[in-house]
Chains A and B, each alone.
Chain A
Amino acid sequence: MSDVILDTDRKGILTRISDTLWRNPRLTILLLLTPPALWLGVVYLGSLFALLVQSFFSIDEFSGLIIREFTLKTYAELFTPANFDIIVRTVLMASAVTIAAALVSFPIAYYAARYAKGKWKAIFYLGVMLPLWSSYLVKVYSWKLILAKEGILNWLFETLHLSWLLNAYLSLPIIGGNSLSVSWTGTFLVFLYVWLPFMILPIQAALERVPRSMMEASGDLGATPAQSFRHVLLPLALPGVIAGSIFTFSLTLGDYIIPQIVGSSRRFIGQAVYAYQGTAGNIPLAAAFAVVPIVIMGIYLWVAKRKGAFDAL
């Protein structure tokens, strides 16, 4: 048996560091938090703030130089018909993508949370995550090929002698176009596909936390499955749906590549930002456009909170 009870002789530089950290938990937390705080706080929030400042400047229409004086003129420009159209279009697209993503994700997430076990759970995660591992551009171009006039989807409709159906759909105003790959329906489908994992995973995580007995209790008290869904499952899954919608909504609001590759020539917010800060050199207007998604997300979360979406948290 060892005689040493308090092993104070154990010394060495690493042991001493451990001892110091153990005695000063505040120091430990400080050391752990400083790097991410610098990164997030200074680099990220700092540039966001710089952007916000830029949006209050304006551009001299003749010289093209930025006038560094406080003005709301740039924001007023957002409300010109052409620019406001871009905002409305983007918000409508983001809303449609978010709602569709929630509808498609819920059953998948429900299955994964409630029924998938062991191997099937692994297959679920793999199936959901695998698309995220391949390049975003490759996926979008693949979709362009799928949706093109010479693409597999068109071929499928032809083979099934349903071309008339597709053509009738494409002849619809706004959502139609020459082919799916140059229509907003195409843009919508690609957005939906690319952001789907960001909706499925939070919903699945939320549903995972709802014990089976919760639904049984609801049924036991007389609720049909539809009523149980409405009054128990949906409210409890709502924080997950909101979390997922924050992803799909804000990602769609800010994306400029997908509408560039698949869709009509009319622009979305992301494309406007890209164009104004690049070729046009209108940084203030680009900044003002970039603030729009932030404001919309702020309003969205505020409304969600007011409606009690986070009550189950």
Chain B
Amino acid sequence: MTSAVVFKGVSRHFGSVRAVDEVDISVAEGEFFAMLGPSGSGKTTCLRLIAGFEQPTAGEISIFGQPAQGVPPYKRHVNTVFQDYALFPHLNVLDNVAYGLMISGTSKGERHRAAEEALELVALPGYGSRKPSELSGGQRQRVALARALVNQPKVLLLDEPLGALDLKLREQMQEELKALQRKLGITFVFVTHDQGEALSMADRVAVFNEGKIVQVGKPEDIYYRPEVPFVADFVGSSNVIPPRITEKVTGTWTTAAVRPEAIMLGDKGLPAKVRATSFIGTSTRVSLDLDGSQMVALLPKGQTIPEIGEHTHVSWAEDDIHLMEMTDE
């Protein structure tokens, strides 16, 4: 199978800032690929490198096997859904969606029909005559999606497209986007800082930190088997356990990760003191102090919630602790 997008040792430096630093990526055709990381980690710059808005300082990018070096955005069969949607305010919804086809010289009747179809695809039929300013955030997001899809791109790039939507709408759009990607079979490259979004939608996730990819893998691997403390901490806030405690439990001197929901409180295990508790809906979050190390446990409904200041013991099932590479810290 051909790779849709390949990065080979790609760097993008802005002055002395290494926004993207020797990144290797290979996105398979038809894959839903998420780039996850905190702001400033280089994920958006990677997306812009694929779109052609940025040129790499070093390294090679190829799209469907063709080198993308020096190819301007308007010659790439790659379309983008922008974070701010970037809808043209002077055009109505139909002309916004039909823009790419208008540029390529498609006749008015034909491009309006195609745009109408694209609007149907994103569940906005009949909205063509409205101006973008008359739409809600969620509707604008759909129009941006329709506009990017109407050109039938080989790769669709999405730059935090759900960031501006409220929680309920975001969850709904996540499902729709995933369904749409399955239906169309287009390669999606999705940038987000929301780990839940990346994990629930993507086939594979690349976790970015400080311009580098720290781990690539299936969502389950990223979640349950983080390779470095950063991934453990950033993706769903695992407890990162320092070597001296790991050694007590497993006998190996290394850093490890334990998920908060895997932690049990009771009479056995390591002694700990309860620092704070907070009710967060489906469960209660308990902050613990283990001999100077901080740890968080999530207790499901129905469990006894300890008092603040109470002494307790912390334990977990043997396969819930995940050993990681040692870090320089």
Contact = CB atoms under 8 A, between A and B. Distances in A.
Nearest to B51: A220
Interface string B46-86: 00000111000000000000000000111000111011101
A222 B82 contact: no
Given A211-B84, A216-B82, A222 B90 contact: no
B73 A219 contact: yes
Contacts of A236: 88-90
B142 interface: no
Given A213-B83, A216-B51, A218-B88, 19 more contacts: A213-B82, A214-B88, A217-B80, A219-B73, A219-B74, A220-B51, A220-B53, A220-B74, A220-B78, A220-B79, A220-B148, A221-B79, A221-B147, A221-B151, A222-B74, A222-B104, A222-B151, A235-B90, A236-B90
A218 B79 contact: no
Interface in A226-282: 227, 231-232, 235-236
Contact of A312 (B53, B90, B148): B90
Main DSSP-derived SS at the A contact region: helix
Contacts of A71: none
Interface of A: 211, 213-214, 216-224, 227, 231-232, 235-236, 311-312
A222 B79 CA distance: 9
A217 B82 contact: yes
A216 B99 contact: no
B86 A211 contact: yes
A213 B86 contact: yes
B90 A311 contact: yes
A216 B87 CA distance: 11
A304 to B, nearest CB: 14
Contacts of A231: 99, 102-103
Nearest to A213: B86
A211 B87 CA distance: 10
Given A216-B73, A219-B73, A220-B79, A227 B103 contact: yes
28 contacts: A211-B86, A213-B84, A214-B86, A214-B88, A216-B53, A216-B73, A216-B80, A216-B82, A217-B80, A217-B86, A217-B88, A218-B88, A218-B99, A218-B103, A219-B74, A220-B51, A220-B73, A220-B78, A220-B80, A220-B148, A221-B79, A221-B100, A221-B148, A221-B151, A222-B74, A222-B100, A231-B102, A312-B90
